[in-house]
Amino acid sequence: MTVTRRQFVKLTAGGLAGSSIAALGFSPARALAEVREFKLARTSQTRNTCPYCSVGCGVILHGLGDGSKNARTEIVHVEGDPDHPVNRGTLCPKGASLLDFVQSPHRLRVPEHRAPGAKEWTPVSWDWAIGRIARLMKDDRDRSFTARHGELAVNRWTSVAFLAASASSNESGYITNKVIRAMGMTALDNQARV
Ligand code: SF4
């Protein structure tokens, strides 16, 4: 690299200034680390699970807000949870970019329903969506449930299948299995196998 006389003077002056500051006990690296700490100092932390793949890594969401009733907390930073047994604080590149997903204007925030024959999806409430799913499941079970196969009691419901989430805890996985089996559903699989 060719350095002109003017560039050489600038570099020398910069180097001298840097070493003089360091000699006075001011370390740029330390100063930068302090700024990073201040960035998260006022945030609240919430534990969650990365929604992308079946590994189910734990994340910490840093939210900024004053905690008042009508104020909305804004997620400003996402990092791996060092206490999570799956990832121990690490995240793959996809999980590390989770903040973009959280703040995306295209993110789906409410359930949507496309009525039979309709071209458009319509936003609906969670209550409506859960009620609709329950209604359809009940009607289908009433139509398809098989109590006996000849002499044998089978109590099975084979016209639907259930896919459980791999990011769930052991406890919610246990309850999911109990509820699904209690309804007679035989086709149960988990995202962790996908
Ligand atoms: S951080 Fe990566 S590996 Fe972990 S759950 Fe998210 S997408 Fe999967």
Q: Where in the chain is the domain with CATH 3.30.200.210?
A: 42-107
DSSP secondary structure of 34-76: HHHHHHHHT-EEEEEE-SSSTT--EEEEEEE----TTPPPEEE
Burial of 58 (0-12, 13-18, 19+ CB in 10 A): buried
Residues belonging to the chain: 194
- Mean pLDDT of all residues in 8-25: 56
Distance 62 CA to ligand 1 centre (A): 18
Measured distance CA(174)–CA(193) in Å, rounded: 17
Q: Does residue 80's CB lie within 6 angstroms of at least one atom of ligand 1?
A: no
Pocket lining: 53 vs ligand 1, CB cutoff 6 Å: yes
Confidence at residue 2, expressed as pLDDT on a 0 to 100 scale: 67
For the cut 70, the answer to whether the pLDDT of residue 132 exceeds it is: yes
pLDDT digits (tens, 9 = 90+) for 31-85: 666 665 677 888 889 999 998 988 989 999 999 887 777 778 899 999 999 999 9
Return the closest-CA partner of residue 61 out of 42, 51, 71, 74.
74
pLDDT at 89: 96
pLDDT of residue 70: 79
Element counts in the chain: helices (H) and strands (E): 6, 8
- Pick the residue with more confidence: 69 or 132? 132
Q: Would you state the pLDDT for residue 72?
A: 82
Residue 8 — very low, low, confident or very high, per pLDDT cuts 50/70/90? low
Token pair for residue 55? 């590994």
Confidence at residue 168, expressed as pLDDT on a 0 to 100 scale: 80
For the domain covering 42-107, report its CATH number: 3.30.200.210
Around 20, how many Cα atoms within 13 Å sit in the side-chain half-sphere?
Answer: 6
Q: Facing residues of 47 across strands?
A: 60
Which residue among 48, 49, 52 is best mutated to probe the pocket of ligand 1, counting the most ligand atoms within 8 A of its Cβ? 52
Which comes out higher in pLDDT, residue 134 or 68? 134
Q: Which of 53, 78, 84 to mutate to test the pocket of ligand 1 (most atoms within 8 A of CB)?
A: 53
At 138-190, the pLDDT tens digits run 999 999 999 999 999 999 999 999 999 888 888 988 999 999 999 999 999 98
With both helix axes pointing from N to C terminus, report the angle between 5-23 and 28-41 in degrees, rounded to the nearest 10.
70
Q: Does the Cβ of 57 fall within 6 Å of ligand 1?
A: yes
